[in-house]
Amino acid sequence: MRIANLSGRAVLVDDDRAIDVHAASCGRFGPDLASVYTEWEAFSAWAGTALGAGAGESFDTRDLEAPSPTPSQVFAIGLNYRDHAAETGLDAPDAPPTFTKFASCLTGPETDLMLPTDTVDWEVELVAVIGREATNVSAADAWDHVAGLTVGQDFSERTSQLAGPAPQFSLAKSFPGFGATGPWLVTPDEFANRDDLAIECEIDGESVQSGRTAQMMFPVAELIAHLSAVCTLRPGDLVFTGTPAGVGVGRDPQRFLVSGNVVTSRIEGIGALVQRCVK
C-alpha cells in the first residue's frame, strides 16, 4: 500500500490514481496525513478495503508533499554504512551516532533547494516512519511499529557542520528544504525483502551514490530498538537511517552542489525525489 500527502490531504495511491482518504472513509480518517498516523492500525485495516475498486483521480506528482509533515521527532543516524564511515575518515561506530533534523526542514519529493552556501552536500537515505508507539521494543518486534518506508535526502551544509570544536550535525542539516522526503509511504509488506533495497543518488544523471540498504551496520529494526530504549517513538516520527558512500565531502577533490544541479534520490520499490538546486 502506498499512502501520500497530496496538497495537504491524505490519499491512497493506486497505480497512478489518488483516492482521497477522508472522502472514501466518509470522514472517519483524515483529511490530513498527520492525523492518520494517530490511528494507524484502524486506518491500515480500513485502507486494505478501499483499494482495487478502480476509484481515485489522476494527480500531478508536483503536488505531493512530505509523507509525514509534522513529526513529533526526527531521528537521523550517522555513519551507518561502513564504506561511508571510511570515506569520512572515521571509525565504524559501536552504537548508532544519533542527531536530529529539525522538522521545519522537511519538504516533499519535488522541490527547489535553496543553497545557503557553496558547501552543501547530498546524502540519500532510507527513512522509516513510525506507525505504533514504541518504548523499549526489541529488534524482533520493531517492524510491528513501522508504518512504512520512504526516501529521504539528508542535505548537509558541511562548513557549519564541521566548524568545531564539536560537530554541529543537527543545525547544519536543517536549513529550509534540507529534509526532502517522499514521494510516498510504502508499507513494509510491499517489499520482497524490506532490509535489502537498492539505494542511489544521481546529480544531473551521473551516479554519485549506489548501494544497498542491507549494507547498514545497524538495520531498521536495531535502530528502533536502540532509539526506543531512550525515547518513546510516536506515530508519524521519522528515522533517517544513514547514507552509503559517495558524498561530496569524502571525495578528492571535494565536490558540493551548485545552482542548476538536479539531485535525484531513488530507492527500489519506493520511488524517487528530485531536487533542483537554486541560489
Residues that bind Zn ion in the complex, under the rule CB under 5 A: 123, 154, 243
Element (H, E) at 47: helix 40-50
- In whole angstroms, how close is the CB of 18 to Zn ion at the nearest point? 30
Other residues' Cβ atoms within 10 Å of the Cβ of residue 58: 8
The minimum distance between CB 240 and Zn ion, in angstroms, equals 6
Torsion of CA 102, 179, 164, 256, to 10 degrees: -160
How far apart, in whole angstroms, are the C-alpha atoms of residue 160 and residue 118? 11
- Residue 238 forms beta bridges with which residues? 74, 129
**Residue 277 to residue 80: CA distance in whole angstroms:** 26
Integer angstrom CA distances of residue 100 from 116, 173, 196, 220: 19, 8, 24, 16
Grid coordinates given for 109: 519529493
> Shortest Cβ distance from residue 134 to Zn ion (Å)?
21
Q: Between residues 172 and 274, which has the closer beta carbon with respect to Zn ion? A: 172
* Residue 107 Cβ vs Zn ion, minimum distance, rounded to whole Å: 16
CB 100 → Zn ion: shortest distance, Å?
11
Nearer to Zn ion, 37 or 178 (CB): 178
Task: Compare residues 12 and 247 and give the one whose CB is closer to Zn ion.
Answer: 247
26 or 91: CB nearest Zn ion: 91
Question: Whose Cβ is closer to Zn ion: residue 76's or residue 134's?
Answer: 76
Q: How far apart are CA 232 and CA 235, in angstroms?
A: 10
Q: Are 154 and 243 in contact (CB under 8 A)?
A: yes
Q: What minimum distance in Å lies between the beta carbon of 116 and Zn ion?
A: 17
Give the nearer residue to Zn ion in terms of CB position, either 21 or 200.
Answer: 200
**Rg of the chain in Å (alpha carbons):** 18
How far apart CA 98 and CA 61 sit, in angstroms, is: 32
